[in-house]
Structures are given as C-alpha cells and as structure tokens.
A and B are shown apart, each in its own frame.
Chain A
C-alpha cells in the first residue's frame, strides 16, 4: 500500500513537472540586437532633443516578412526618468511599414507628434528612414539640474492586426467558445529590446544648439 502511494505520488510530481516545463518553456521573443548608435542629446529652444541611429532594426525574419508584402509596425519609445519610478517625459513613435509587392513600392507612415509619410521603391531608403531619428523632442528642459536617465524601448512586429485576424480565421479560432482560445496566443511575433538605459546626464551638461533657418520647426512638446 505504501509502495503504491509512493508511485502515485511520483507520477503526480512528474506530470506536474512536465506541465510546468511546458508552460514556462516557450517564452516570448527576446529579440535581436537592436541598439541605438550615434546618439546625441541636446537642448534647442529650451527643448530636449535627440538624434540617434538605430542599428539592426530589422531581423532576418522581419525582412523576410516585409519582402513578402507583410505590413510591419515599429514602436519606439523614449522616456526621461529622474528615478526608478519617476518618469518625467514619455515620447512614443509608431511607424507603419507597408510593402506593395505588386507595384514594388514601400510606404512608411510615422505616427508621432508630427506625422510623416515616405513613399519609395527602395528598401534601403526605407531602412534609413526608419533607423534615422533626427530631432526627436523629448520635452521641455527640466528646471532642476538633477541627474536624469534617458531610456528607450524598441519593438518591431511584422504581423499587422489585419493579418492576426486572417490567421485566426484560418485556424478557426474565431469560433465562439473555441477551446484553443485558452491556450494559443498569436501575438508573440514581435521582437524588441525591453526598456534600456541609454544615457545618464544632468541638464546643465547638455550642449545648446541654435535652430538653423532651414530646419523644420520642431515637434510640439509632449509631456506624459
């Protein structure tokens, strides 16, 4: 009797362990090595601004998807923190990249405080446009001269919401009370960085740059 109980207990532990392993095994995508290069932060007209270059924005997988005409989205977020839980400024930039494979054209729409659109037939132009961040306004210059941290978060998703719906329809997941709804999530295709500390600085240490006459007016300030 004791031996049977021990065996039963072992089997139960094994089943629990297997289920636990299955549940924690396939985690979300941690992403490729997206990072910011040639970063410069400065003050222009009492506004904190940022110039930067994103390195390796598109992974091989994302490039394949774009090549077949899938619509990708790129979400870049900056925030200025005075402490672990004190966020002073938050600035999101959402970019939608469409590829018309029939005409061989790309359209990049950037949703920010100042929307912008690029139409081109060159993917290199697209890559440069998406990777180049020029004059990104982070908000008004803080009055106190305490140390601040600039953080960024980049997420690239080659699956558009329309494609999500199409795939779910294909898998019959749109059926009411579908059993698989409880277990399957189709939103793990995005790749990103998580929140990364980019720079620690004090406002007084930043260079001041005068606006050039030909420079386009800076985007309106945005506060969280």
Chain B
C-alpha cells in the first residue's frame, strides 16, 4: 500500500483536527444546552406545578368523597348482597357509574380466602376509603357485607392514582432542582463546560504541536545536514525512515553527499596521479639523457685501451659490461617511467571484449589460463591496445603470484548496465590493507617492480569510465573485477549469463 504523501497527510490531519474540534464543541454545546434547559427553573414553572398539585389534591378529595358516597349507598343494599352471592358485579358497576366511578376494579374478599388483603382493610364494620398501605398508587373502597351483623365478606373497589402521584413527583423533583440551583448547580454545569472545553483545546494544541514537530523535525535534520556539509563533513548522513516527500528529500541529500565524497576522492586521486606522472616524466628526462654518454664513454675507454696488461684489460672489459648492463636496466626503468607519465589518450571504438581477451591469452601458450567467456557480449567502446595492456598487466601479475604451476581463470558476464570481466589467480591473495592501496602508484607487493602496473591498469579502466576492484575469493587467490559500461547504442536486453 502506497503511503500517503506529506501534503495529503497534512491536509487530512488539519481537516480532522478542525472537524473533530468542531464536532466535539457542537456536541458539548448541545449537551450543556439541553442540561441547561432541564435545569431551568422559574416562578412560572413553580406556580404551574403548584397549581397542578392543588388540582390533583382536589381531584383526589373529590374521588374520595364520591367513593365514600358510593360505599354508603352500597353498604347493606340488596344489590351488594346479590352480587356477592351470584358473583355478578354488573349492578354494582351501574351504581358506581352513577358516582362517576366506572374505572374502579372490583373484587370480593373473604377473611378465609384473602387473609392478606383482608388484614389491610382498616375497618370491616362500616364502609371505608383508604390508601393501600403497601401500594401507594391504589385508592381503595372497602364495603363490608354483613350477615347477622357479622362481616363475612368485603367488596373491595380500587382506583389507580398514578397520574396524581406523577404530579407530586414532578413537584418534588422541581423543588429539588430549585434547592440545588440555589446552591450553585448552574455553576457546576458552567464549570463542567469550561473544564471540558479547556481539555479539548489543550488536546487540539497538543495534536497541533505534535503535527508541527512531525513536519519540522526532518527539516531540522536537513538543516543540520547542510551545515555539516558546509563544515566539509561529507561523512554526515541523515537517518532515513520516512516514505513521503521528506523521505525522498533525505534520500537525495544522502545520495548527494555520497556523490560529493566520491567525486572528491576521484579528484584527489587524479591530482595525485598527475603529480606522480610529473615526477616520473622529470625522472625519465633527467636520467635518460646521461645514459647514452655514460655507455659510450665506458665503451670508448674499453676500446681505446692498448696496453698489454691482461689483468687490467679484463678489469676494463668486466666494468664495461657491468656499466652497460646497468645502463640498460636504467633505460628500461626510464622507459617504464615514461610509459606511466605518457598515458596516451584513448581511441575508443566499438569492440568485442572477448576477442581482445582471446588475442592476449594467445600470447601465453604455456600458462594455465582457463576461459569462461559469455557467449554473447554487447560491443563496448574500447581502446583495444590499452585494454590489451590492462589484460597483460593482470595476467603477468597473476602468473607472478601463482607461480609456474598456478592457474588463472578469466570470465566475462553481462550485467544490466555493464560487462563484468574477472581475472582470478591461484596465488596467496592480497591482504585487506593492500587491497585499499594497491592501485596507487609505486605500491607493490612484489620484491621487484616499480608498482606502476596496477596504477596504469586503473588509469586505463577509469579512462574507459569503468571501475576496478580486487577481492580474495573463498576459493583462494586474488580476483580483479573490472566493470565496463555498456554504451546505449549497443545496449541489449539485460540478459544475465550463467
């Protein structure tokens, strides 16, 4: 999943922040407003509730009076007696309707069958209206049914007064709120609103600060990186870890620092090589000039001697041979200096690297050289003469390191943008410390030699815009790896050869 870009993240975060804060405030405002309305107590409301309670009380008293009247009419009547005996309560309901008590529930009780209800009746001698002792929402009318002056049953008519009790409860709650409000309930609500508001604002600020730090922290890292670079510290790198535009910026910065470091290294090396070449050129010039006169002078001394002393003559001839031999050595040395100093400019043209390798290998028929060349190689922009020089240097170094029975392997491989040429010998390898500096001029691991060969090799490879390195493979020996760029015009599909 592709991570969101910084721009969208900032936009979404800000929208979420604004919406979240607004929604929270909207909810809080509505919530506290509703509560404020509930808390709102005033004189009109108090008066209305008191009036409602008075009306309810009148209603209660009126109902109680009518129940009393109905009870007195039913008490001792034939209607009640017959209804009790037959169980038909219709005549009683008719009587109750006359007193506007049609909503009463009727029930006949006897002390034997309903002892609990019977005991709750205050009087079973005369009609009585009472509130149920356990169920406060019931108003009851009890009409005794006498037989020979003794109560043996009761007509219990009950009316529900929930509506009246609701009015009473409303008045009580209102009164409670009035008391609480006088003791600072509104301040409590206001305090709650303020505290929650401050909390939300603090939360929003913290989120904003975190977002701000999240955005600016990598920018500060970039600023620090540029300052380090200005202080010539090209080893400073900014820790990566982001996938957005700032992450790309950090990556570009680090890559730029790496390129700068590499370019500086190349420039320093180029300057160093140029200095060495200048030294070599001057040495070659200064040494080369007196060599011929020295050699001629010595030879002339030998030729002009006409004495007869055989011992002296032999001495002169031996000295002449020694001087001539050393002069030849010096001339060879001067030639090597001159070659290093006069690195010819390349003449690049498309060539087959494999063909160049085969040409060079043909020069060493006695060496154990194994070839593992890619079957198809793209043509490279090469100077074949200079590349032969490279190969000869490497092969001769390999032969020197491996000895007469040593083996060498030359391989070529096609890589996505380059061709890889490796030269592996079976010698003792090159120590890690020497791998670092073996391509510098006048550095050699051999007892004889000027240490200019690999410097020349590296110079030629880099002139080809290639790269050379050396490693010690696990199988032993040393392996030189040369990567040469494939020109765009001869670029083929990236076919990696086995």
Q: Which residues of A contact B (CB under 8 A)?
A: 15, 18-19, 22-23, 25-26, 28-29, 61, 64-65, 68-70, 100-103, 158-159, 163-164, 166-167, 170-172, 179-180, 182-186, 188-189
Contact = CB atoms under 8 A, between A and B. Distances in A.
Contacts of A159: 176, 179
A69 B28 CA distance: 36
A188 B176 contact: no
Interface in B223-254: none
22 contacts: A15-B198, A19-B195, A22-B187, A26-B183, A26-B188, A29-B183, A61-B182, A64-B175, A68-B168, A68-B172, A69-B168, A70-B176, A102-B60, A102-B164, A163-B176, A164-B176, A167-B180, A179-B28, A179-B196, A180-B188, A184-B188, A188-B183
Interface in B419-474: none
Nearest to A62: B179
A188 B39 CA distance: 15
A171 B188 contact: no
B192 A186 contact: no
B184 A70 contact: no
Given A65-B175, A68-B172, A183-B195, A101 B57 contact: yes
B19 interface: no
A186 B179 CA distance: 10
A180 B179 contact: no
B171 A186 contact: no
**Pairs A-B, 9 closest by C-beta atoms:** A26-B184, A183-B192, A188-B183, A189-B179, A22-B191, A184-B188, A26-B187, A167-B176, A102-B60
B172 to A, nearest CB: 5
Interface string B159-202: 00100100011011101110110111101111110111010000
Nearest to A71: B172
Contact of A68 (B161, B175, B184): B175
Contacts of B50: 68
B43 interface: no
Contact of B171 (A25, A68, A185): A68
A100 B175 CA distance: 16
A65 B188 contact: no
Nearest to B176: A167
B97 interface: no
A175 to B, nearest CB: 11
A23 B390 CA distance: 90
A68 to B, nearest CB: 5
B355 interface: no
B53 interface: yes
A173 to B, nearest CB: 9
Given A15-B198, A102-B164, A166-B169, A185 B188 contact: yes
Contact of A184 (B31, B161, B192): B192
Most buried by A among B35, B131, B176: B176
A173 B195 CA distance: 18
B125 to A, nearest CB: 20
B38 interface: yes
A27 to B, nearest CB: 8
Contact of A70 (B38, B172, B190): B172
Contacts of B187: 22, 25-26
Contacts of A70: 172, 175-176
Given A166-B169, A171-B38, A186 B176 contact: yes
A172 B34 CA distance: 10
A172 B37 CA distance: 13
A155 B288 CA distance: 125
B173 A167 contact: yes
Nearest to B35: A180
Contacts of B183: 26, 28-29, 188-189
A161 to B, nearest CB: 12
B168 to A, nearest CB: 6
Contact of A163 (B28, B35, B57, B172): B172
A164 B173 CA distance: 8
A18 to B, nearest CB: 8
